[in-house]
Structure 1
Amino acid sequence: MNDKQSPRKETVVWTGILSDIALAAAKGGVGYLSGSKALMGDAIYSGADAAARLAGVIPWHPKQNSKPSGSVRSRAVQGNKEPLAAILFSVLILMGGLQVVFSAIRDLTRGHLSAPGQSALAAVLLCIVFKEAVFQYQYRYFKKKGDGSHAAYADSHRFSLYTSITVFIGIALAMTGGYMNWHPLIYLDPVAALLTGGLILRKGYSLITSSVYSKKLQELPSEEAASFIETVQRVHGVIRVEQLRALEEGSCVNLDVKISVNPRISVLEAQDISECARKLLQHRFVHVGEVHMEVVPYDPGYPYKSNHELVDNDVPTLLQ
């Protein structure tokens, strides 16, 4: 029943994509009518956000074996096979960023600029509020879901917010220069467009590098993974952490954990313990993405034997 009441993941993701497309269209239209190059650059950045998320959602490549992998590393390697469409989107984003940069440089060198209209400032403010509302909706959903996607959304939203704030400052100062007849301030609108073009190029470069080159997985040293082990050991039912592998992938950390539990408990109880440990890791450490849990029965090893083995085993342990 809870699954029916909660929004589907695809719906939440597509809400963000469609909102970015709508923002790109609104910013582009208002920016063209008001003569603000900075707002048009912000429109291209919103379109780049939509393209980057669209490249990760649509299954452009053929389906592979649907058998689940056995570790975080194997699934991460399979996930690094980016579709060819992501490279196409990357090239389009880079071309858009270069167009914004060249247009801003041309306006700065040509001179005779005019201040943007008031609609540009109102549009960027409304777009910031709308973008923040959509982000809070997505961030809370994915944080509640506990799959680590909220960290990636927060990182992407941070640079989008930087872009909008830069555009807002550039437009506001350019309008102030127009009202006060202070011509140097009018140049801040194309200057903001130039900075926005740089952020667009950064986004396109990061997308194309993640598409062409496989993401490098770096295993964290045991000293940095000690906090993860300590957290898992606090879960009731976990006897010992047999193995914990922390793989750093970008801004996220994927964990491959092997724990031992009481061999006399049921499989369902063991699954509950592993699920509790997984949720605790993802909620305590916001940078933790995927967590793969493996549960094994606790074995003290030779020459020790557990109590249940002494009771159930009728075979003598000493030579007669």
Structure 2
Amino acid sequence: MNDERFQKAEFAAWVGIVGNIALVLLKGIVGIMAQSKALLADSAHSATDVAGSFAVLIGLRAARKLPEEVQSFGNGKSSFISSIVVSVLLMIVGVEIALSATKSIWQGIEMAPKVYALAAIGFSFVIKEAMFQYKLKLAKRKNPQVIITKAWERRSDVYSSIAALVGVFGALLGQYLDIRVLYYLDPLAGLFISLLILRRGYLLVKEAFHATMDHALHHEDAADLITTVQTIKGVITVDDLRAREHGHYVIVDIKISVNPRISVLEGHDIAKFVKHQLMKRFHHVSDVFVHVNPYDAGYPYKNNSDMERSEHPSIFH
């Protein structure tokens, strides 16, 4: 991954981290003061977004370091262990919130949350929408697929805030209409959000385990890579291509055949151009290893060397 793409993607990840930490603190503090189970649960749900943004950041940094520090497929896995630990902790928090909400429902609710809890939820909607629009705009401009995917995943997080809004507003409406049964909407919303937290924690753990292993690229995606290389001048054929997904990035190991009578410099230039084209066209490709082989149309070679040269011209002629 080149420096420009990395810097843009890393900045977007930091926007998510800082923005969601602010939401965690805001909703957590207001949730305690307003005595709202739903808002406290929504605060914990925003913490899962922080963990998700950290996972993206770790993956991006691993991708950037890969060309200099990794010599083969399957390395750089230890950096994702922290994502697993954080995800498990978040799942524990989700269980605690579920137990707390269940206990409140069992013991009975005596009062509704404070009205300013609604203001915190409304502010949360504004911040989340702003972060989503920024990340999506950046992703469409630079096309880093990981940011596009994560942006749309965060879009689904609005369900947590909607649940908190329904819970708090319903409880306040019950207070206004003197319908005490509506007070239970607040802890019920907290219980629903705790299930969302458990789901998010599970998905983060699953994603972290997936990121620690290499996965063969889908046949269709690998075919696109091969087609691109075969159109490059100087490449006679693609002998072999191995593409592995490692977390959020792809490593390509490709063997190409060129005219056996061109110079080493010409072969090297072809290899450089192959790498450049793949990384330019496919933004999820973080590094390309090109092996250059002499083209062998059959053994023994033809005796007419001039004919062979005309069939496989040099890229400089």
TM-score by length of 2: 0.71
Contact conserved, 1:94 with 1:201, CA < 8 A, in 2? Answer: yes
2:109 alignment partner, one of 98, 108, 112: 112
Q: Which residue identity does 1:129 align to in structure 2?
A: V
1:200 alignment partner, one of 197, 200, 217: 197
For the residues of structure 1 that align with 2:306 and 2:140, how far apart are their CA atoms?
41
1:17 corresponds to = 17
Deviation at 1:147, TM superposition (A): 4.8
Deviation at 1:41, TM superposition (A): 0.8
1:135 corresponds to = 132
Contact conserved, 1:246 with 1:254, CA < 8 A, in 2? Answer: yes
Deviation at 1:258, TM superposition (A): 2.0
Contact conserved, 2:21 with 2:46, CA < 8 A, in 1? Answer: yes
Contact conserved, 1:140 with 1:150, CA < 8 A, in 2? Answer: no
Judged with a 3 Å threshold, the aligned counterparts in structure 2 of structure 1 residues 188 and 145 are, in CA distance, closer, same or farther, namely same
1:275 equivalent to 2:263? Answer: no
Contact conserved, 2:232 with 2:274, CA < 8 A, in 1? Answer: yes
Judged with a 3 Å threshold, the aligned counterparts in structure 2 of structure 1 residues 206 and 247 are, in CA distance, closer, same or farther, namely same
Q: Which residue identity does 1:92 align to in structure 2?
A: L
For the residues of structure 1 that align with 2:156 and 2:99, how far apart are their CA atoms?
21
Matches within 5 A, 1:156-171: 156-171=153-168
User: What are the Cα deviations for residues 102-148 of structure 1, in whole angstroms up to 9, with x where unaligned?
Assistant: 11101211223433333222322221221232233334445545554
Q: Which residue identity does 1:48 align to in structure 2?
A: T
1:124 equivalent to 2:121? Answer: yes
Judged with a 3 Å threshold, the aligned counterparts in structure 2 of structure 1 residues 213 and 271 are, in CA distance, closer, same or farther, namely closer
Contact conserved, 1:31 with 1:37, CA < 8 A, in 2? Answer: yes
Deviation at 1:28, TM superposition (A): 1.0
Deviation at 1:80, TM superposition (A): 2.3
For the residues of structure 1 that align with 2:134 and 2:257, how far apart are their CA atoms?
38
For the residues of structure 1 that align with 2:250 and 2:82, how far apart are their CA atoms?
26
Q: Which residue identity does 1:276 align to in structure 2?
A: Q
For the residues of structure 2 that align with 1:291 and 1:55, how far apart are their CA atoms?
20
For the residues of structure 2 that align with 1:141 and 1:116, how far apart are their CA atoms?
38
Deviation at 1:185, TM superposition (A): 3.5
Q: Which has the higher helix share?
A: 2
Matches within 5 A, 1:64-213: 67-70=68-71, 74=73, 77-82=74-79, 85-86=82-83, 88-141=85-138, 144-154=141-151, 156-208=153-205
2:228 corresponds to = 232
Partner of 1:78, secondary structure, is coil
For the residues of structure 1 that align with 2:177 and 2:159, how far apart are their CA atoms?
27
For the residues of structure 1 that align with 2:122 and 2:241, how far apart are their CA atoms?
46
Contact conserved, 1:80 with 1:211, CA < 8 A, in 2? Answer: no
Judged with a 3 Å threshold, the aligned counterparts in structure 2 of structure 1 residues 202 and 229 are, in CA distance, closer, same or farther, namely same
1:296 alignment partner, one of 288, 292, 296: 292
Deviation at 1:31, TM superposition (A): 1.7
Partner of 1:258, secondary structure, is strand
TM-score by length of 1: 0.70
Structure 1 residue runs without a partner (length 5+) = 283-287, 313-320
Structure 2 residue runs without a partner (length 5+) = 60-64, 311-317
Deviation at 1:277, TM superposition (A): 3.0
For the residues of structure 1 that align with 2:108 and 2:221, how far apart are their CA atoms?
56
Judged with a 3 Å threshold, the aligned counterparts in structure 2 of structure 1 residues 97 and 4 are, in CA distance, closer, same or farther, namely closer
Deviation at 1:47, TM superposition (A): 2.2
Deviation at 1:40, TM superposition (A): 0.9
Identity of aligned residues (%): 30
1:35 equivalent to 2:35? Answer: yes
Contact conserved, 1:219 with 1:248, CA < 8 A, in 2? Answer: yes
Instruction: State the Cα RMSD in Å.
Output: 4.2
Contact conserved, 1:278 with 1:293, CA < 8 A, in 2? Answer: no
- Structure 1 window deviating more from structure 2 (265-274 vs 99-108): it is 265-274
- Structure 1 window deviating more from structure 2 (228-237 vs 131-140): it is 228-237
